[in-house]
Structure 1
Amino acid sequence: MSRDVPDTTAPERQILQDLLNDNREGLLECVSGLTEQQARTRLVASLTTPMALVKHAAFAEKVWFHVTLPGRTRAEVGIPETIDESFKLEDSDTIASLVAAFRETCAESDRIAAAYSLDDVGEHSRLGPVSLRWMYVHMIEELARHAGHGDILREQLLASRS
């Protein structure tokens, strides 16, 4: 699937936001064209499935932009304490519900981040002080990695269907 190339000469913050948005969309492509059953299929020993990657990505967005940046707790935000829990799918989870939740989470992440400068610092429970700039770079990295995982899983699932 083809996405627009972000402006490569934009100011730093716009570049970071554009790359983050691009990787968000790349991650969502991993569930595109899959059935609900395919999107839940485990092809690896971990809980990683295309749907679980989307659910985990929403969790990661919340950890950094909803918890760390404004100084809230995971309980306040309503997310699990462990990463493994963020991959667990509920029977009620669907592709559509997880995509909608992810998009809503990302929109809220963008609203929260807009109130801060790139040099502003939040306190992460494990890493200590981290700047918003670092959070952007980390999320770009994390979503790119998971989009790659999802792309491979999607390719395997679609190949098994033919």
Structure 2
Amino acid sequence: MNVHESALPWTSDLRVRLDELLDEHRAMLHDSLDGLTEEEARRSLVPSRTTLLGLVKHVTGRGPRALWAIYAHMLRELAQHCGHADILREQVLAGRE
């Protein structure tokens, strides 16, 4: 057995876990729109003009990921966007009061 053959199970498991993490963060980001009107989802509340809907659209439609560097980048980016979505959602909901 060569080095590449012994690494295959670990690599396969890692790829599955990375896919799970990406899907989990995409779902978290999508869930930030729950209960909001379209106007609220499109509301720009920060100087960068970022909106909740814009964040969700930004991460949808990404094609197949072939390189591990892309996985790491996507996971980091999605995690950051989830934090941004939390802040924007808090502002939208605070505006309801």
Q: How many aligned positions are there?
A: 86
Q: Is the 8 A contact 1:26 1:144 kept in 2?
A: no
How far off is 1:32 after superposition?
1.3
The structure having more radius of gyration, on CA atoms, is 2
Deviations 1:87-129 (A, max 9, x none): xxxxxxxxxxxxxxxxxx25xx3xx34xx5xxxxxxxxxxxxx
Greater share of residues in strand: 1
The alignment status of 1:46 with 2:42, answered yes or no, reads no
How far off is 1:142 after superposition?
0.2
The partner residue of 1:153 within 80, 88, 91 is: 88
Instruction: Specify every segment of 5 or more residues in structure 1 that has no aligned partner in the other structure, as ranges.
Output: 1-9, 59-104, 117-131
Instruction: Specify every segment of 5 or more residues in structure 2 that has no aligned partner in the other structure, as ranges.
Output: 1-11
Q: What letter is aligned with 1:161?
A: R
Q: Name 1:129's counterpart in structure 2.
A: none
Q: What letter is aligned with 2:71?
A: Y
Greater share of residues in helix: 2
Q: Cα RMSD (Å) of the superposition?
A: 1.7
Identity %: 47
Q: How far apart in 2 are the matches of 1:153 and 1:11?
A: 35
Q: Is the 8 A contact 1:40 1:51 kept in 2?
A: yes
Q: How far apart in 2 are the matches of 1:19 and 1:160?
A: 32
Q: Name 1:37's counterpart in structure 2.
A: 39
Q: How far apart in 1 are the matches of 2:51 and 2:96?
A: 16
Q: TM-score, normalised by structure 2?
A: 0.79
Q: Name 2:5's counterpart in structure 1.
A: none
